[in-house]
Amino acid sequence: MVDDTPMSIAILVFFLTQEGFEVVTAENGKVALETAKNIHPDLILLDVLMPVMDGFTACQYLKSTPKTKDIPIIFMTALTENDDKIKGFSLGASDYITKPFQATEVLARVNTHLQIYHLKQQLQQQNSQLREEIKIRESIQHILQENTRLLIERSAELQQRNTELEELTTQLQREIYKRQNAETELAKANRDLAYLVNHDGLTKIANRRRFDEYLYQEWHRHLRERIDLSLLLCDVDFFKPYNDYYGHQAGDECLQKIAQTFAHVVKRATDLVARYGGEEFAILLPHTKAEGAHQIATNLQQAVINLNIPHQKSSIYPYVTISIGYATLTPQQYHNESMLIKKADQALYRAKENGRNQINAYNPNFDNQDDKRPQNTAVGEN
């Protein structure tokens, strides 16, 4: 764990050691580089803003060093700008944890990336075994070819060679069977790895990495085809008071129920439901006009209300509700996909500012108003 703030280190060390993890700390990126080379940790939690050497620079060095390049890195930061997160992912980071920390989210992300890291190591070991099995198979095939030549040249030894050939054939069949089993296991492991990389550990829906990847892909497809692309950003109303009152376990269960409800309501194979961060969700609707996006938003809002999850700390409704902001754009050459996120986020802010439990569409007038929205509000402060 690399952080120059003693309080942050103390909190995370407490969380992680309670779960049985062994934690080694460093106060800046320079110290972290030497420590990582010496002990080769299974995972690195790396703060972004530090003296001497910041997290981005340390990540770049770690990923360019053969001994440490495969170690998963999770950035810890209070920065919420998309450009900062994109920069971190481009340097090789595996994930982000936003300050202030939530224990369940930290542990879920740490456990997920440790599983991925160990699975990668297992895959490397299996690949090595497969290469050895291929060598054995090639050796056996060579022996078979040589025996065939000898059988032709030495007909007197035909019976003896046939016996040897049968034994070798049986051995080859065993090796082929072993290889087929190994290939089946490898394919399953690859599928499991792909799932872990693209899904949120708590809610089992798509994670932020998968959302960013799919948004980039669909933005450029819609740019080529000149069709509408819609994005909904949804936020659970008064979720921090809910968490504080009912407890983090109840908060996790609430997010899980909402995520599964979203996945049930949004049914098209091309649509994507993702956990955007904390209690915020994103729904990407390809080839969808504003009217269609509004209908989906209405269905989502009502579906969450129908869950009847009690919320005594809500000042607007006795049950859990959501606020939704959405935007619809036809992609243009002079914009990128972050424009769609920005406009949907502006709409979400208006929905929350106007009282929550509302649906708000992006309005171009937002761009001409003095938006006083805080830029570094921590996840959960809603």
87-94: long-range pairs with CB below 8 Å, 24+: 87/56, 88/48, 88/55, 88/56, 88/59, 89/209, 89/212, 91/56, 91/59, 91/60, 91/63, 92/59, 92/60, 92/62, 92/63, 93/46, 93/59
Candidate from 133-147, 244-258, 344-358 with smallest mean pLDDT: 133-147
Angstrom CA distances, 31 to 24, 70, 95, 235, 361, stand at: 11, 19, 22, 39, 48
Question: What is the per-residue DSSP string for 307-318?
Answer: T--B-TT-SS-S
Residue of higher predicted confidence among 296 and 363: 296
> Is residue 262 scored above 50 in pLDDT?
yes
CA angle 45, 47, 49 (to 5 degrees): 170
Both structure tokens of 322 = 């959501």
> Is residue 378 scored above 50 in pLDDT?
no
- Mean pLDDT computed over 351-364: 95
Both structure tokens of 357 = 């439990």
Q: Which pLDDT belongs to residue 376? A: 34
Q: Which pLDDT belongs to residue 377? A: 32
Distance CA 171, CA 177 (A): 10
Residue 130 exposed, middle or buried by CB count within 10 Å (0-12, 13-18, 19+): middle
Has domain 208-368 been given CATH number 3.30.70.270? yes
Give domain 6-101's CATH number out of 1.10.10.10, 3.30.160.110, 3.40.50.2300, 3.40.50.300: 3.40.50.2300
> Is residue 375 scored above 70 in pLDDT?
no
pTM over 0.85: no
Q: Where are the domains of the chain?
A: 6-101, 111-198, 208-368
- When the pLDDT of each residue in the chain is averaged and rounded to a whole number, the result is 87
Q: Which pLDDT belongs to residue 123? A: 86
